[in-house]
Structure 1
Amino acid sequence: MSRSSAFILGLAFIIGSIVVFFGGLKLGEEFLSKERSVIVKGLSQREVEADIIVLPIQFSKASNDLNALSIELESDSKKIYNFLLESGFSNDEITFMPNTINDKIGNSYNSDAQIAYRYDGSGGLTLYTDKIKLARDVMNNLSSLSKQGVIIQINNYEIEYLYTKLNDIKPLMIEEATNNAREVASKFAQDSNSSLGKIKKASQGQFSIQNRDKNTKHIKTIRVVSTIEYYLKD
């Protein structure tokens, strides 16, 4: 190989090495830049009114005559059923619970001296409806059945208020949570003298539906948190 050819070959090797070096340096900087990231959480929360109420209505009776007690329980059940129909509810919204009768003498924990009535019975109906205001009004008026000899029992802790339209608001809440996360990430990037890049990774949390408080169970608080990781750029 001539001296000039060797010089050209050596020069080409040096130039190639420089190109590879600076190219590798640039790739390394881009790689390191892409690996810089920030993880933030975005929240979306709103209050909604329940759209379904589940209202258990119970009644009780006592007697020394088993047959008479059975008849009275059936009668009380029909009185409550008719009251609900007359109040504006449909047959499809009302479910009957089975009547039960307890024989106190047959209960080894009781003695004859403690028993005024040998048998006590109970039954009930469950109202499942989207007419929440009407149901709440009916709760206040059920006591009027006492004039017909019906002893009503409603336990507030057994009343359920449901929200069944979550799918209708899910997309908007996810969007709100994502926008909230981006605002937080942008502020972090600004404070760190960086700019916000693309999303590296994202995960959506579970939607939670809870009572706003114990006194307003018909108002629900819906909440979702999204966790998003963004790339940071210089």
Structure 2
Amino acid sequence: MNKGVLSVAIAALGFVLGLWFLGSAIKNRNKAENTISVTGLGTKKFTSDLITWSGNFSRNSFELKAAYDELANDKRVIENYLVSKGIRKEEMVFSAVDIQKQYSYGTDANGRSTQTFGGYQLSQRISIDSKNVAQIENLSRNITEIINLGIEFTSSPPNYFYTKLADVKQQMIADATKDAKARAEKIAENAGSSLGNLKKATMGVTQITEPNSTEEYSYGGTFNTTSREKEASITIKLEYEVD
């Protein structure tokens, strides 16, 4: 075989292979385009089964020991009060005592800055975690009873949580997946096609808000802790081939 014929044969083979690869690419491209992407939603309402609540109390005195003794007495009074309300001592957590020096600032007759010692302020924090949500919720609303005992007490709003959130998430994922598949089947049916293999599944973040509220979803997920009643939602995005 001379060189001219060999060159023509090689060129022809290259042309045929090129057509094959081009056809394969077009086929794969069309196959990739014949897909359906749908998003399903799973939601669940539930009631919190864990509550956390905290409060601060403090004393002021020019004598450190006097302030500490008064604060220690306040702690005993608070502890006894909570026990009388049915709170167990093991549920109460008292923080370490925080000590701050107080100063007042001003200027003297010559316009120079002055600093006057105003005594010590000692404060302590009590926090409670409990599954008796109603009991602690009622306690937080009637905190004036502690103030009426002569204690300078500041209460924080309670926070609400749910200890079985993992179970809720699993059910929502199942519901969202079922919802997405039903949507995809309906779209394919209306288009005169049928669903093929599942190509991809993407799960969104969990959003937990107060039911019927105006809380906004966030990119990283919302987790409401201020409401006893909650509503969780999650999305699942599915991508199917279409036959």
Q: What's the TM-score bracket when you normalise by the shorter of the two chains?
A: 0.7 to 0.9
- 2:200 — aligned with what? 201
- Which amino acid letter does the alignment assign opposite residue 232 of structure 2? I
Counterpart CA distance in 2 for 1:63 and 1:140 is 29
- 1:172 — aligned with what? 171
In structure 1, runs of 5+ residues without a counterpart are 1-27
- Which amino acid letter does the alignment assign opposite residue 231 of structure 1? E
- Could you tell me how far 1:74 is from its partner in structure 2? 1.0
Please give the per-residue CA displacement for 1:196-220, whole angstroms capped at 9, x wherever unaligned: 2332222333333344557952222
Q: Give the 3 Å change call, closer, same or farther, for CA 231–82 of structure 1 in structure 2.
A: same
Aligned residue pairs, count: 202
- 1:126 — aligned with what? 127
Q: How does 1:33-52 map to 2 (within 5 A)?
A: 36-52=34-50
Counterpart CA distance in 2 for 1:122 and 1:29 is 74
Counterpart CA distance in 2 for 1:151 and 1:82 is 16
What is the RMSD computed on CA atoms of the aligned residues?
3.1
Q: Give the 3 Å change call, closer, same or farther, for CA 152–222 of structure 1 in structure 2.
A: same
- 1:163 — aligned with what? 162
Please give the per-residue CA displacement for 1:88-137, whole angstroms capped at 9, x wherever unaligned: 2222321111122222249999743xx7x522221121011111111111
Q: How does 1:77-96 map to 2 (within 5 A)?
A: 77-96=75-94
TM-score normalized by the length of structure 2 = 0.71
Q: Give the 3 Å change call, closer, same or farther, for CA 85–64 of structure 1 in structure 2.
A: same
Q: How does 1:48-59 map to 2 (within 5 A)?
A: 48-59=46-57
Q: Which has the larger radius of gyration?
A: 1
- 1:147 — aligned with what? 148
Q: 1:100 aligns with which of 92, 98, 101?
A: 98
Please give the per-residue CA displacement for 1:31-79, whole angstroms capped at 9, x wherever unaligned: 9668721111111112222221111111122222321110111111122
Given that residues 163 and 220 in structure 1 are in contact (C-alpha distance below 8 angstroms), is that contact kept between their aligned partners in structure 2? no
Greater helix fraction, Structure 1 or Structure 2: 1
- 2:230 — aligned with what? 220
Q: Give the 3 Å change call, closer, same or farther, for CA 107–46 of structure 1 in structure 2.
A: farther
Does residue 230 (structure 1) correspond to residue 240 (structure 2)? The answer is yes
Does residue 137 (structure 1) correspond to residue 138 (structure 2)? The answer is yes
Q: Give the 3 Å change call, closer, same or farther, for CA 197–100 of structure 1 in structure 2.
A: same
Counterpart CA distance in 2 for 1:216 and 1:124 is 20
- 1:17 — aligned with what? none
Residue identity (%): 26
Given that residues 94 and 126 in structure 2 are in contact (C-alpha distance below 8 angstroms), is that contact kept between their aligned partners in structure 1? yes
Given that residues 199 and 239 in structure 2 are in contact (C-alpha distance below 8 angstroms), is that contact kept between their aligned partners in structure 1? yes
Given that residues 104 and 118 in structure 1 are in contact (C-alpha distance below 8 angstroms), is that contact kept between their aligned partners in structure 2? yes
Give 3-state SS (helix, strand or coil) of 1:138's partner: helix
Give 3-state SS (helix, strand or coil) of 1:98's partner: coil
Stretch of structure 1 that moved more, 51-60 or 28-37: 28-37
TM-score normalized by the length of structure 1 = 0.74
Counterpart CA distance in 2 for 1:33 and 1:106 is 77
- 1:18 — aligned with what? none
Q: Give the 3 Å change call, closer, same or farther, for CA 127–160 of structure 1 in structure 2.
A: same
- Could you tell me how far 1:86 is from its partner in structure 2? 2.0
